[in-house]
Structure 1
Amino acid sequence: MDGKTMLAYVIDKERSGAVKEVAVPEPGDHDVLIKVMAAGLCGTDAHIYQGEYYSEFPLVPGHEFAGIVAQTGKAVKRFTEGQRVVADPNIFCEKCHFCKQNVQNFCQDFQAVGVTRDGAFAEYVVVPEGCVFEIGAMSFTTGALVEPLSCVVYGQLRARPQLGDNVLIYGAGPIGLLHLQLAKRNGASFAAVVDVKAERLELAQKLGADRVLLSGSGLDDELRQEFPLGFHLVIDTSGVPKVVENAVAHVKNAGSLLIFGVCPPDAKINVSPYEIYKRDLKIIGSFALKKTFQPTINLIENQLIDVAVIVGEQIKLSQLPEQMEKFVAGKTAMKTVVTF
């Protein structure tokens, strides 16, 4: 691909992105060049676009993607041109203090496709061989959703509901709906879902929610009346600090709160340490993912989780600048997927 060019969506500074012609990246000896066929738009991409992340510009974002192997480096052994693949965007050194203890998501030399290096909102992307997974006949749009579900899988491995538990999920967006499905698969006997949009709650019901509640001023009282003992596991996917703060009151004694949504870095919440002590509560974080791509592919291939249901719009790369603005303004429906 030496000397060839491609189209890519490039963020050159805060709140400034455009589709441009750039050079096709060259794979190193241990890399795979992937022709991108589908790429999902994520909340992280919006944070990067708004300058709220640690990414440096110029940058081609996009870390949820699927495609076809176009070229392999000299030392690549497990992939050949033409294979249908997805890739874990997280690149771990496997040499540092944390990697050696199997805590790779805190790798001290961490890199991420579409975050610290150019990503998949482009016709081609380069990824290390160790991050690539074959997907067989899986559709490319579905393949682009392996990454967000992989994050959800990691989160529930961190705070797994026990058989028969009841679960409360704040947020019925794409991530909340994946958490709902996985919680039921993991053994939750009852799942309640909260959201500000009635149409999303209708979808949650279709996917197995036992109770849906529209968010509003009376929500906390409604939850206390219906569920006075609280929930074994409460999952926040909203990323709204006040929601996280209020969620603590609805965790059952000896229960867990999983903070999955990304709150602003400088946000603070008021939580009583005495309450955490007295009620034996667990507050659990979940950052990115760690070696959960293959289990996630297995879940999708065996039709145990419906990821297609979270797709809202499919657009072309040329539409991405406008779609990014709509996404940041909260005017998009569910998950946007760019197709090539």
Structure 2
Amino acid sequence: MKAVVYDQPRSFTVTEVPDPHAGPGEVRLRVVLAGVCGTDAHLHDGQFDPVYPLTPGHEIVGEVDEVGDGVTGLRAGQRVVLDNMQSCGVCTSCRRARPAFCRVLVAQGVNAPGGFAEYIVAPAGKCHPADDLAPEAAVLTEPTACVMHGLDVLELPPGSDVVVFGAGPTGLLLAQLLRHAGANRVTVAAPTAAKLELAARHGADETVRVDRERPDASVARLRELAPEGFDAVVDATGAVGVLELCVPLARDGGTVFVYGMTDENDRLTVSPYEVFRRELVIKGSFSQAYSFDRALQAIRTGRVATDGIVTHTFALDDYADALAALRDRECVKAVVRPGGAAAT
């Protein structure tokens, strides 16, 4: 089969590798779509603890192609979404309901073979039937699960006033689910007009255009909306320059939520006196935990609207272009179709 294979940071080929086969309790999936995520850009640079040789791709929709011994709940030809995280369940972190910090965590697409390939083998129990969803909707299940976990961590009080920086896929998903989590008002701030229009269409109460050259003007508009500050200020960009705006925009007793993935070497200066004096809370959210089923249900019920989010589709051979699309302001979400569809 054909797969993207890294041998070191920034060095990959699209090459032929041996076909995998399902073992006991496993299924082989023919990959239908695999989402391209900011995490893949960090993996490209050698961050996020990759294990080589590496085939990335952790947002996976597949069709069951081969069923291993002992598998009874899935059938050949069935479309599924894959929860790529496998934790041991018995280490200290797992026993404290922190499976993402499992000491022997297997994360397909990070330290085990992922979905930027024609086929992938996975535990049957990690595959969730999704025949009722279009692949372009189903491929958003994993990022939605991450957002669900983020809201578990955030513990948003009902009636909160929230601003989300970023209108990429995670910003759009956050904005929608924050509304259902009890926010009275959700404001989305981002630099791209088309993405802000999509945010408004998906339910954002306010949108604010962020001028990359003059961020102070954007801050002034946000202060007009919330003169005393926002109850929660969410960064979904991973940009330190944006994070620097977050603390001043939080109201006294408010929360700054670090959701976007920054570079490992980035540093943010925060005044401990301000955190102390204003009783601020700073929280982070990593990956997903106990949220995959809920994410799939949110997409099924329409609580998460997915139309318009997937904007670019690439063939496996065009993986370099798929990565580059992450820097394209007009690209909301890029996916790879290993079956060989032409780029759109």
TM-score, length-normalised on structure 1? Answer: 0.93
Aligned to 1:22: 17
* 1:81 alignment partner, one of 72, 76, 82: 76
Aligned to 1:153: 148
Mapping 1:322-333, distance limit 5 Å: 322-324=321-323, 326-327=324-325, 329-330=327-328, 333=331
Aligned to 2:320: 321
What's the CA shift string for 1:96-148, capped at 9, x where partnerless? 11112221111011110011011111111011223211123212222111001
- Asked if the contact 1:61–1:121 (Cα under 8 Å) also holds between the matched residues in 2, the reply is yes
What's the CA shift string for 1:289-316, capped at 9, x where partnerless? 0021100111111111112321111222
- Counterpart of 2:264, as a letter, is P
Mapping 1:175-186, distance limit 5 Å: 175-186=170-181
Mapping 1:233-272, distance limit 5 Å: 233-272=232-271
- What displacement does 1:70 show? 1.4
- Asked if the contact 1:18–1:321 (Cα under 8 Å) also holds between the matched residues in 2, the reply is no
Going from structure 1 to structure 2, the CA distance change for 1:76 and 1:95 (only over 3 Å counts) comes to farther
What SS does structure 1 have at the residue aligned with 2:150? Answer: helix
- Counterpart of 2:291, as a letter, is T
- What displacement does 1:58 show? 2.1
* 1:173 alignment partner, one of 156, 168, 172: 168
What's the CA shift string for 1:183-204, capped at 9, x where partnerless? 1111212111111112211222
Q: Equivalents in 1 of 2:330, 2:7: separation in Å?
A: 23
Mapping 1:1-340, distance limit 5 Å: 6-216=1-211, 217=214, 218-324=217-323, 326-327=324-325, 329-330=327-328, 333-339=331-337, 340=339
- Asked if the contact 1:260–1:286 (Cα under 8 Å) also holds between the matched residues in 2, the reply is yes
Q: For this pair of structures, how many residues does the alignment match?
A: 334
Going from structure 1 to structure 2, the CA distance change for 1:172 and 1:90 (only over 3 Å counts) comes to same
Aligned-residue CA RMSD in angstroms?
1.7
Q: Equivalents in 1 of 2:336, 2:262: separation in Å?
A: 26
- What displacement does 1:332 show? 6.1
Q: Unaligned stretches of 5+ in structure 2?
A: 340-344
What SS does structure 1 have at the residue aligned with 2:17? Answer: strand
Q: Equivalents in 1 of 2:329, 2:152: separation in Å?
A: 32
Q: Equivalents in 2 of 1:156, 1:25: separation in Å?
A: 36
Q: Unaligned stretches of 5+ in structure 1?
A: 1-5
What's the CA shift string for 1:310-339, capped at 9, x where partnerless? 111122222223332x23544661111122
Q: Equivalents in 1 of 2:7, 2:50: separation in Å?
A: 11
- What displacement does 1:21 show? 1.3
Going from structure 1 to structure 2, the CA distance change for 1:214 and 1:321 (only over 3 Å counts) comes to same
Q: Equivalents in 1 of 2:302, 2:124: separation in Å?
A: 27
What's the CA shift string for 1:261-305, capped at 9, x where partnerless? 011112211112222122222111100000211001111111111
- Counterpart of 1:168, as a letter, is V
- Asked if the contact 1:170–1:235 (Cα under 8 Å) also holds between the matched residues in 2, the reply is yes
Q: Equivalents in 1 of 2:330, 2:26: separation in Å?
A: 34
Q: Equivalents in 1 of 2:50, 2:162: separation in Å?
A: 35
Q: Equivalents in 1 of 2:102, 2:307: separation in Å?
A: 32
What SS does structure 1 have at the residue aligned with 2:308? Answer: helix
- What displacement does 1:51 show? 1.9
Q: Equivalents in 1 of 2:25, 2:225: separation in Å?
A: 56
Q: Equivalents in 1 of 2:322, 2:74: separation in Å?
A: 34
Q: Equivalents in 2 of 1:204, 1:303: separation in Å?
A: 15
TM-score, length-normalised on structure 2? Answer: 0.92
Q: Equivalents in 1 of 2:119, 2:307: separation in Å?
A: 24
Q: Equivalents in 1 of 2:280, 2:302: separation in Å?
A: 34
Q: Equivalents in 2 of 1:172, 1:63: separation in Å?
A: 21
